[in-house]
Amino acid sequence: MKDTNVIQVENLTKKFGDFTAVNAITFEVKKGEIFGFLGANGAGKTTAMKMLIGISKPTSGNAKVADFDVFTNSEDIKKNIGYMSQKFALYDDLTVKENITFFGGIYGLSRKKIEEKRCLLVEELGLHNIVNELVGSLPLGWKQKISFSVALLHEPKIVFLDEPTGGVDPITRRQFWEMIYKASNNGTTVFVTTHYMDEAEYCDRVSIMVEGKIEALDTPKKLKEQFKVNSMNDVFLKLARNIE
Amino acid sequence: MKRFIGFIKKEFYHIFRDKRSLFILFGMPIAQVMLFGFAITNEINNVDIAFFDKSKDATTQEIINKISASKYFTNKQMISNDAEIESVFKKGNIKAVLVFDRDFSEKLTKENKTSVQIITDATDPNTANTINNYLSSILQNYQQVINKQMKVPFQINPETRLVYNPELKSVFTFVPGVMTVILMLVSAMMTSISITREKELGTMEILLVSPIKPFQVILGKVFPYIFLSVINAVVIVLLSIFIFKMPVEGSLFLLGFESVLFIINALSLGILISTVSSTQQTAMMISLMGLMLPVILLSGFIFPIASMPLPLQIISNIIPAKWFIIIIKAIMLKGVGLTFIWKETLILVAMTLFFIAISIKKYKIRLE
Amino acid sequence: MSISVKNISKSFKTVNAVKDVSFEVKEGELFGLIGPDGAGKTTIFRILTTLLFADKGTATVAGFDVIEDYKEIRNNVGYMPGRFSLYQDLTVEENLTFFATIFGTTIEENYDLIKDIYVQIEPFKKRRAGQLSGGMKQKLALSCALIHKPKVLFLDEPTTGVDPVSRKEFWEMLKRLQQKGITILVSTPYMDEAALCDRIALIQDGKILQIDDPQEIVKHFPTTIYDIKADNIYKLLLALKEYKHSYSVYPFGEFVHYTDKRDAIDTKELTLFLKDKGLNNIIIQPTETTIEDTFMELAK
């Protein structure tokens, strides 16, 4: 089951004028995999991610996400993926329930299906007391957990998470990763960026971007062996330092 | 002092690097003056008119010729029955119909008294009114000419003379208004936005936690805009003198002084707005709704204050723009000196001091 | 004492942001406030930088009271707020010059202090601040906060959202500044940065959980932590949670951190239990307690 590729990227490039933000990156992500997409600030992670989720047109190269081409079928891609970013997740001035209904509606779920999903979500996350509260009044950790669940509402094949745990407390951060494990176990592919290097260890495979290029890609274990260090943090530092 | 100069320098960087605000600063005054000067006007020109002449004689023909010959009206049509009056109005081009009764001339010669009917399309009441006035005055003129020929005794002939704006050029009344609106907008909106921008960006936090004093921040924000607003005022006055041939009867120095006073007034309002709003968006909304609308509607710029209902007349007194419009009209059109407008000037000074006092009181040295 | 905070409380409308917080920072110390977003770190910073009044309690900075002597404090501290708060439309050099002038000094006068940091961004001094990368912005902000040679430096989450390389460099810079005698109060949500401070306060939900130096703080942890690993981390997590003696189970890097309700664990029994659950390649070994473990235990 894990052998089918759900993301296939070949020489994907994005240029802004003279500046090459993403420089011919090539990789693939298998079904159900947790794929860590790391890189320094300005290394081109966000730009690459935007191309994969169909909101930015690549300058050249090929990429298929959930079997759809990023050049020609970006609308189909959007239907088959979930996306959650740190900056925008849920509407602060709507209640948890209203947010769920709204996002369910956007992805064309039926009223019945939304209702069903909501009950399940309330049960799993223990939202009984807060389902009618405004999202703005909830702690960050709750918001992030709920928005991850919302990104999974329409049962996407792949879910893209852009720094989902930034600033979240350590316990919630781990609860969040348990949710990621669970999604992956259910066959959803998880594509995640993070600045926490311990989180890189949770991933099945990790890619590290430096100045628009993917400089390393493997399982955390093999990367550590390759660079002869004990932690992903050191792998990262070694890579970035070497380039400078 | 060095701090202060450093601050002002920074403000100018902000202004000159923001294309949008530069456009508002310098593009808008010119656009507004042109707009009000050329497009929006109370004057009428070449209005299409129709005549229903039941009398059909030399007198009526003479009147018709006289009207058609004027630059205000164009004779478009002769009507031959009552029903047609309605239909020409419905078509929309004809704005007025002049109806001469069957016995028009007869009555005029026998009874020395006759009447015509002026029918105007009042869907646009201002235009209808103006058309009415113009037509009446042409008829009166004609009457005076015949009266002289007939030597009828005991006639009172009111001789009207329009002073200060004899040609009734609307641009002359608009320029002071436009200048007021622009100075208010540029000064109040731009300062309030530039202060709230610092709050939004978080730089205000750093400025607060620094030895720079609150009044230095405020003055530093205000100073560049005094400078720019004065440039604006000069541009507007030059435009009106050279493009619209508007006379400036009074002293330019006095005009400059009063403008600076009004600019400071508007700036202090801008600071006041910035103390109550925390985002640029709110500052802009308050400036537009709270300042622009009253300035345009209640200052006497467009609607004469004397014809407003009493409550609005009272409210208009608290609008600085009203006093400024009175002042600059007096200076530009009447050419009067300070002795005639000291009362209005004093009101503006008092308002300015009042606004500055509350702004200083309300300006926060902390985040709460 | 360079900073002294006594029983400070502060609430906004419905939130009690800071609850009876007390701590002291010695002169020349690098003190860390460690906690997640919403823990009350920013509110404490704002109270100390005289931007907010506390509802209760007193505080002094560099010997000055935060309410009475706010003007002296504003002359003597450097402050770097949480988000990037410089003028994006001004160049690097213009920003620095501006902050130098409003503090009544010049770049040349205190160049020594910022030299280390500023040389890294000097090649870009004609570039607008808005166009700098995250790491460079942060260096510029630090230079601006230092330009007047403050006695106390307040850095509110300077490394949030910054990549590990820039973070590491940033902490190296802080260490060097500390050697120049500047007291530094820094806040961060990254637990791994805590180890770099002289002393730290762990904070969550407006309350201080513990204050100590990083080496001592982990000694408060009541029991031994075990690294456990198996071929499927998710199944391992679920299995450990089911285990009747389990006290806490958290994913931690490549391992799962496990603590037991008993004083010592029975490795054999646990291995058998996990094998029963279908797990293979099981490793169980005692490990060192980290600050993050301590934090989670205290916050539980």
Select from A40, A140, A178 the Cβ nearest to the Cβ of C163.
Answer: A40
Chains B and A touch (3+ CB pairs under 8 A): no
Chains A and C touch (3+ CB pairs under 8 A): yes
- Same domain membership, residue B77 and residue B214: no
In a domain, B367, yes or no: no
pLDDT at B217 > cutoff 80: yes
A97 within 8 A of A37, measured Cβ to Cβ: no
Average pLDDT, chain C: 91
**Rounded Cα gap, residues C120 and C177, in angstroms:** 16
In a domain, A167, yes or no: yes
Higher pLDDT, C236 or B216: C236
- Same domain membership, residue B290 and residue B270: yes
**Rounded Cα gap, residues C229 and C252, in angstroms:** 10
Per-residue pLDDT reduced to its tens digit, B317-342: 999 999 999 998 888 888 888 888 89
C229 within 8 A of C254, measured Cβ to Cβ: yes
In a domain, B164, yes or no: no
Burial C259-269, CB ≥16 within 10 A → b, else e: bbeeeebeeee
Residue B156 pLDDT class (50, 70, 90 cuts): low
- Same domain membership, residue B35 and residue B52: no
- Same domain membership, residue B219 and residue B335: yes
Q: What is the ipTM of this complex?
A: 0.82
- Same domain membership, residue B357 and residue B218: yes
Taking CB atoms and an 8 Å limit, are C53 and B7 in contact across chains?
no
Interface of B with C (CB under 8 A): 2-3, 5-7, 9-10, 13-14, 17-18, 201-203, 205-212, 365-368
Residue A98 pLDDT class (50, 70, 90 cuts): very high
In a domain, B319, yes or no: yes
pLDDT at A244 > cutoff 50: no
CA distance A37 to chain C (A): 13
Taking CB atoms and an 8 Å limit, are B211 and C94 in contact across chains?
no
Give chain B's domain count: 2
pLDDT, residue B118, reads 85
Q: Pairing state of beta strands B96-100 and B47-53?
A: parallel
Per-residue pLDDT reduced to its tens digit, A180-213: 999 999 999 999 998 888 889 999 999 999 888 9
A49 exposure class (CB count in 10 Å sphere: 0-12, 13-18, 19+)? buried
pLDDT at B23 > cutoff 60: yes
Mean pLDDT of A238-242: 74
In a domain, B350, yes or no: yes
pLDDT at B37 > cutoff 80: no
CATH number of the domain where residue A168 is located: 3.40.50.300
Domain hosting B216: range is 2-40+169-362
pLDDT at B113 > cutoff 80: no
Per-residue pLDDT reduced to its tens digit, A137-169: 888 888 889 999 999 998 999 999 988 888 788
Percent of chain B with pLDDT over 70: 91
pLDDT, residue B324, reads 93
- Same domain membership, residue B304 and residue B181: yes
In a domain, A177, yes or no: yes
Mean pLDDT of B108-131: 79
The nearest alpha carbon in chain A to C295 belongs to A170
Select from A163, A169, A202 the Cβ nearest to the Cβ of C204.
Answer: A169
**Rounded Cα gap, residues A232 and C253, in angstroms:** 9
Domain boundary among B90, B118, B150: B150
Burial C110-127, CB ≥16 within 10 A → b, else e: beebbeebbeebeebeee
Residue B150 pLDDT class (50, 70, 90 cuts): low
A29 exposure class (CB count in 10 Å sphere: 0-12, 13-18, 19+)? buried
**In this structure, what DSSP letter does residue B55 have?**
S
Distances in Å between the alpha carbon of B176 and those of A143, B263, C223?
55, 14, 82
Taking CB atoms and an 8 Å limit, are C83 and B13 in contact across chains?
no
**Rounded Cα gap, residues B127 and B170, in angstroms:** 13
**CB pairs below 8 Å between B and C: how many?**
82
Beta-strand ranges (E) seen in A17-157 are 19-30, 34-39, 60-65, 68-69, 81-85
Domain hosting A231: range is 33-43+74-243
pLDDT, residue C77, reads 93
Mean pLDDT of B29-49: 75
> Which residues of chain A make contact with C259, given a CB cutoff of 8 A?
none
In a domain, B173, yes or no: yes
Taking CB atoms and an 8 Å limit, are A233 and C164 in contact across chains?
yes
CATH number of the domain where residue B144 is located: 3.40.1710.10
In a domain, A2, yes or no: no
- Same domain membership, residue B261 and residue B345: yes
pLDDT, residue B153, reads 52
- Same domain membership, residue B358 and residue B252: yes
In a domain, A230, yes or no: yes
Residue B42 pLDDT class (50, 70, 90 cuts): low
Report residue B289 as tokens: 């709704």
Taking CB atoms and an 8 Å limit, are C163 and A232 in contact across chains?
no
Taking CB atoms and an 8 Å limit, are B210 and C102 in contact across chains?
yes
In a domain, B368, yes or no: no
Select from B5, B17, B205 the Cβ nearest to the Cβ of C89.
Answer: B17
Mean pLDDT of B98-106: 82
Report residue B322 as tokens: 């009203």
pLDDT at B368 > cutoff 70: no
Per-residue pLDDT reduced to its tens digit, C65-107: 999 999 999 999 999 998 778 899 999 999 999 999 998 899 9
Mean pLDDT of C270-290: 92
Map residue A91 onto helix, strand or coil: coil
pLDDT, residue B237, reads 86
Mean pLDDT of B271-290: 89
Taking CB atoms and an 8 Å limit, are B366 and C77 in contact across chains?
no
In a domain, A218, yes or no: yes
Could you give the residue ranges of the DSSP H alpha helices within B188-288? Answer: 190-201, 203-208, 214-242, 252-276, 280-286
Report yes or no: C133 at the A interface, CB cutoff 8 Å: yes
Residue A1 pLDDT class (50, 70, 90 cuts): very low
Catalogue all structural domains in chain C, each as residue range(s) with its CATH number: 3-219 (3.40.50.300), 222-299 (3.30.70.100)
Beta strands across the sheet bearing C225-229: C246-252, C255-260, C225-229, C283-287
The nearest alpha carbon in chain C to B204 belongs to C85
In a domain, A196, yes or no: yes
B231: left (phi over 0), alpha (psi -120 to 50) or beta: alpha
Map residue A87 onto helix, strand or coil: coil
pLDDT at B225 > cutoff 80: yes
Per-residue pLDDT reduced to its tens digit, B189-205: 888 999 999 988 888 88
Residue B154 pLDDT class (50, 70, 90 cuts): low
Please tell me which chains touch C, using 3 or more CB pairs under 8 Å as the contact test: A, B
Give chain A's domain count: 1
B168 within 8 A of B41, measured Cβ to Cβ: no
Select from C94, C102, C145 the Cβ nearest to the Cβ of B7.
Answer: C102
Interface of C with B (CB under 8 A): 46, 49-53, 70-71, 73-75, 77, 79, 81-90, 94, 97-99, 101-104, 144-145
- Same domain membership, residue B146 and residue B225: no
Per-residue pLDDT reduced to its tens digit, C15-33: 889 999 999 999 999 999 9
Mean pLDDT of A226-236: 89
pLDDT at A243 > cutoff 60: no
In a domain, B158, yes or no: no
Q: Torsions phi, psi of B130, nearest 5?
A: -65, -45
The nearest alpha carbon in chain C to A180 belongs to C234
Select from C77, C84, C86 the Cβ nearest to the Cβ of B209.
Answer: C77
Per-residue pLDDT reduced to its tens digit, C156-206: 999 887 778 888 889 999 999 999 999 999 999 888 899 999 999 999 999
Could you give the residue ranges of the DSSP H alpha helices within A54-139? Answer: 74-80, 96-106, 111-125
- Same domain membership, residue B216 and residue B353: yes
Residue C99 has a CB neighbour count (10 Å cut-off) of 29
pLDDT, residue C130, reads 87
